[in-house]
Structure 1
Amino acid sequence: MAARDMRASDADRERIAELLHEAVSDGRLTLEEHSERIERVYQAKTLGELTAFTRDLLPEEQQPFRIDGRALLALFGSSKREGRWVVPAKLPVAALFGTIELDLTDAILQRKHITLDVSALGGRLRLIVPDGVEVRITGRTVLATKDLRNPKPGPNAAEGPVVEVTGTLLLGSVKVVRPKRKRFRLRREA
């Protein structure tokens, strides 16, 4: 299934509706255009349908979510993908003396098993994954480091998604990070 054909959630529709409300309040949409788009937003069934409603309002990097499966490339610099985006079943990643950061905390995984096909020379890959997502590094590494900070994927990992890092990493690093859990402290009043 193409990412555009994936079913949209109520939260995805609400995110688009909020952007349309902002657009009408700052004069980028007329009340009539707003009303027409809002009606169609709540009728939309797929992510591809939803992206059409904000395409003329925001630049690509500010869109509420991305549904392209294009490769990520970092040449002597950095590349980052975060926020609400669809992670394709196989995502090519290439870093030549650069850094790629993939934040999967709000991402939509197209399949339960995602493959990151990494080609890196002196490059770094930083993965931010939520609890319940298992990361497996099966690719070839030559003079490279693997840092699995907080590597335990959580209690539901057996049923959870898997992100497999394949390919070749030469003179670089892969770092997997899980967001820190918020701790609640009880204050004692004297």
Structure 2
Amino acid sequence: MASLSENPPSLISEDDRDTAVQRLQEAYTEGHISYEELDERLHQVLTATTRSELVSALASLPEENAGTTSTIAAVGGRIQRRGVWRVPRNLKVESAFGRVHLNLSRAVIEHSVVDIELQLGTGRAKITVPRDAIVDVEGLHTGWKPTLYKIRRRSRPGGPRIRISGAMGFGRLKIRHARR
């Protein structure tokens, strides 16, 4: 019988699994692994239950592309992204004073999961996500006003998962799905 002081194996989430699958697909398209190796490693990832099993399936892959993280920062004023723009895998938005508006409705989103980290002092923030996006705001800490977000009842499968984290001081975050 195992003692209670032993640490249980670290279980993985579906997001961890999706990220691992994406890394394998990128490694294959960039020529780092063969089709046979991709097939074998995908099987490992899809049947993995612990983090150590995922790590072994991703062993010897090149590090993730450092170009997948971007930071937008301003002390004051407005931060705005709209129209057609390429969304990185990890986006950090930092603003002491001012408004933030990120419109992802027409943006090029190449990743199944996008992490947006907000570090905002005062001012409002608005994020418009694609119609079929799944939004997760559990990692966001708001100090003054709650986040305004109404979960879509019906969304088509296959949309990106937008995970919003970080901290907001005095201000409110409003998230809405694009109408078209």
Q: Work out whether the TM-score is over 0.5.
A: yes
Partner of 2:143: 142
Distance (Å, rounded) in 2 between the aligned partners of 1:123 and 1:81:
16
User: Cα distance, 1:69 vs. partner?
Assistant: 5.3
Which amino acid letter does the alignment assign opposite residue 174 of structure 2?
K
Partner of 1:101: 101
Distance (Å, rounded) in 2 between the aligned partners of 1:112 and 1:152:
18
1:107-122 equivalence runs, <5 A: 107-122=107-122
User: Cα distance, 1:96 vs. partner?
Assistant: 1.3
User: Cα distance, 1:179 vs. partner?
Assistant: 3.1
Partner of 1:163: 162
Task: For residue 145 of structure 1, give the secondary structure of its aligned residue in structure 2.
Answer: coil
Structure 1 segments unaligned to the other structure (5+ residues):
2-6, 8-66, 182-190
Distance (Å, rounded) in 2 between the aligned partners of 1:153 and 1:114:
21
Distance (Å, rounded) in 2 between the aligned partners of 1:81 and 1:171:
22
User: Cα distance, 1:153 vs. partner?
Assistant: 6.1
Structure 2 segments unaligned to the other structure (5+ residues):
1-22, 24-28, 30-66
Partner of 2:176: 177
Distance (Å, rounded) in 2 between the aligned partners of 1:105 and 1:73:
21
User: Cα distance, 1:172 vs. partner?
Assistant: 1.7
Partner of 2:83: 83
**TM-score normalized by the length of structure 2:** 0.56
Distance (Å, rounded) in 1 between the aligned partners of 2:68 and 2:113:
18
Which amino acid letter does the alignment assign opposite residue 97 of structure 1?
F
Instruction: Give the direction of change, closer, same or farther, for the CA distance of 1:153–1:127 in structure 2 (3 Å limit).
Output: farther
Which amino acid letter does the alignment assign opposite residue 148 of structure 2?
D
Contact 2:121/2:168 (8 A) holds in 1: yes
Instruction: Give the direction of change, closer, same or farther, for the CA distance of 1:108–1:153 in structure 2 (3 Å limit).
Output: farther
Task: For residue 119 of structure 1, give the secondary structure of its aligned residue in structure 2.
Answer: strand
Partner of 1:41: none
CA-atom RMSD in angstroms: 2.4
Partner of 1:152: 152
User: Cα distance, 1:155 vs. partner?
Assistant: 2.7
Distance (Å, rounded) in 1 between the aligned partners of 2:135 and 2:102:
13
- Mean CA deviation greater in 129-138 or 85-94: 129-138
Distance (Å, rounded) in 1 between the aligned partners of 2:99 and 2:76:
8
Contact 2:70/2:88 (8 A) holds in 1: no
Distance (Å, rounded) in 1 between the aligned partners of 2:154 and 2:73:
31
Contact 1:88/1:109 (8 A) holds in 2: yes
